[in-house]
């Protein structure tokens, strides 16, 4: 079984964040056998606290630090076991673990999300400068290539003209081997 979730997820303070977790299994989900645990860790080595369970149905976890802000928003038929955390707070930052077991799969799958809470949205990046620089460099390279092609064509034409002149000289008379006509006896 393979469980997939984003490694890092950024959520805006005060917003709702859907922590996505999906899994692949060779077997169809049977709700009576399927189990899911979502846990929270404040730090990497801290102990885990269960915040959501699924055993035949969503099982309410006794009141914890999240209160009623956690809601299961997945769809088992689509192998989706995501949940939404409403009104994200700064102290919600930490690691969220998604554990899935779908018998007859023998191994429990696991994925971890590092939730990072931000206080303001990062500014949108203006890519105008990058586009202008890219277009300028591309245009310059195109001109260089065009110049090289023109030079190559001119050299080829000049070489063909020299070859044609050599042939004419040979047809008119003897040459000294370098394309120059030999002078007769003096």
* pLDDT for res 180: 61
The arithmetic mean of pLDDT across residues 15-36, rounded, is 93
The per-residue pLDDT for 182 is: 60
| pLDDT tier, 9 (very low <50, low <70, confident <90, very high otherwise) | very high
pLDDT of residue 177: 58
Which is more confident, 184 or 42?
42
Classify strands 8-12 and 109-118 as parallel, antiparallel or unpaired.
parallel
Q: Report the run of H or E that residue 57 belongs to, with start and end.
A: none
Query: HEC string of 132-171?
Result: HHHHHHHHHHHHHHHHHHHHHHHHHHHHHHHHHHHHHHHH
Cα–Cα distance measured from residue 170 to residue 79, given in angstroms and rounded to the nearest whole number:
85
Contact by Cβ (8 Å): 48, 65: no
- Give yes or no for residue 12 having a pLDDT over 70: yes
User: pLDDT tens for residues 141-179?
Assistant: 889 998 898 888 888 888 887 777 777 766 666 555 565
Predicted TM-score of the model (pTM):
0.65
Question: What is the structure's pLDDT at 156?
Answer: 85
pLDDT score of 131: 82
Reported as a single tens digit per residue, the pLDDT across 71-125 is 999 999 999 999 999 999 999 999 999 999 999 888 999 999 999 999 987 667 7
* Pick from 46, 29, 48: nearest CA to 38: 48
Residue 186 has pLDDT above 60, yes or no: no
Tokens for 75? Answer: 């769809």
């Amino acid at each position: 079984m393979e469980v997939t979730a984003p490694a890092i997820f950024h959520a805006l303070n005060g917003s709702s964040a859907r922590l996505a977790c999906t899994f692949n299994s060779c077997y169809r989900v049977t709700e009576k056998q399927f189990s899911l645990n979502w846990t929270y860790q404040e730090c990497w080595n801290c102990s885990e606290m269960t915040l959501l369970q699924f055993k035949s149905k969503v099982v309410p976890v006794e009141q914890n630090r999240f209160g009623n802000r956690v809601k299961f928003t997945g769809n088992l038929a689509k192998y989706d076991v995501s949940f939404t955390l409403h009104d994200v707070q700064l102290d919600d930052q930490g690691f969220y673990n998604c554990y899935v077991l779908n018998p007859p799969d023998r191994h429990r799958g696991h994925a971890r999300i590092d939730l990072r809470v931000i206080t303001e949205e990062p500014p949108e990046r203006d890519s105008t400068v990058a586009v202008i620089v890219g277009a300028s460099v591309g245009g310059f390279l195109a001109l260089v290539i065009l110049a090289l092609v023109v030079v190559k064509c001119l050299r080829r034409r000049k070489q063909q003209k020299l070859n044609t002149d050599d042939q004419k000289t040979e047809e008119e008379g003897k040459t000294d081997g370098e394309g120059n006509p030999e002078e007769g006896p003096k």
